Amino acid sequence: MFSLMANCCSWLKRWREPARKVTLVMVGLDNAGKTAAVRGIQGENPQDLAPTVGFSKVDLKQGKFEVTIFDLGGGKRIRDIWKNYYSESHGVVFVVDSSDVQRIQETRETMAQVLQHPRIAGKPVLVLANKQDLEGALAEADIIENLSLEKLVNENKCLCQIEPCSAILGCGKKVDKSIKKGLSWLLSNIAKDYEAIAERVQKDTAEQRALEEQDKKERAERVRRIREERWENGNALKSVRFVSCCLHHVCVF
């Protein structure tokens, strides 16, 4: 009887707990299938999508979690902006195109840069080995080997789960079960250490905003100086022209 009441109290406590807010960054090379995976989770058609330029923000509810996903564009020119979102993230979803064997080295190097970043290292990482429906796609074991995944996550103390999947094959309740399983794993592991991760996110976000504010002030100061120099140079040029004009009239008279 006591055990039953304890279980009921525990369930009631969990039921009354407010939804936990979690932010995830979804990264990977261009054409890996990041947006298709997000759209599938949302319940939208994941097919015939244009490449993400910049980023898109998606808010969704997953059980007791209010999840925000930053789907970041994967082109070489835009990857430099990824780090601007690391401080806010509680975890990472890295999407790999399993069928693109030619770019596996680029994928490995990019993943290493992400996991080695001080604002990502130590956070849980879900690797979606996407496009398993395509002929020639690398199997899970081959991806782990080619990405040196075990070595990489151990060096950066990241809990990691890899899920082979096909993002375009379903959406909503019919989304690839591996994607749902992977997302559930990621949120579960964030929940286990939520207070510590949330505290780290708060600290890193404050530092990031302070740096951005300092950078903004420095840029504004540079612009002010440039304008002052242009104004001074412009006035100096006007003075030279005025003197030249006066001398011209003196010569004429």
176 is in an annotated binding site: no
DSSP result, 114-175: HHHSTTTTTS-EEEEEE-TTSTTPPPHHHHHHHTTHHHHHHHTT--EEEEE--GGG--GGGS
182 is in an annotated binding site: no
28 is in an annotated binding site: yes
Q: Which of 42, 55, 53 lies closest to 83 in space, CA to CA?
A: 55
78: Cβ–Cβ under 8 A, 6 or more apart, which residues? 53, 54, 72
| CA dihedral sign of residues 129, 130, 132, 138 | negative
133 is in an annotated binding site: yes
131 is in an annotated binding site: yes
191 is in an annotated binding site: no
What pairs with residue 67 in β-bridges?
22, 60
180 is in an annotated binding site: no
34 is in an annotated binding site: yes
Cα–Cα distance for residue pair 188/20, rounded to 1 Å: 11
203 is in an annotated binding site: no
170 is in an annotated binding site: no
32 is in an annotated binding site: yes
User: Which residue positions form the known binding site?
Assistant: 28-35, 52, 74, 130-133
User: Which residue positions form the known binding site for GTP?
Assistant: 28-35, 74, 130-133
User: Which residue positions form the known binding site for Mg(2+)?
Assistant: 35, 52
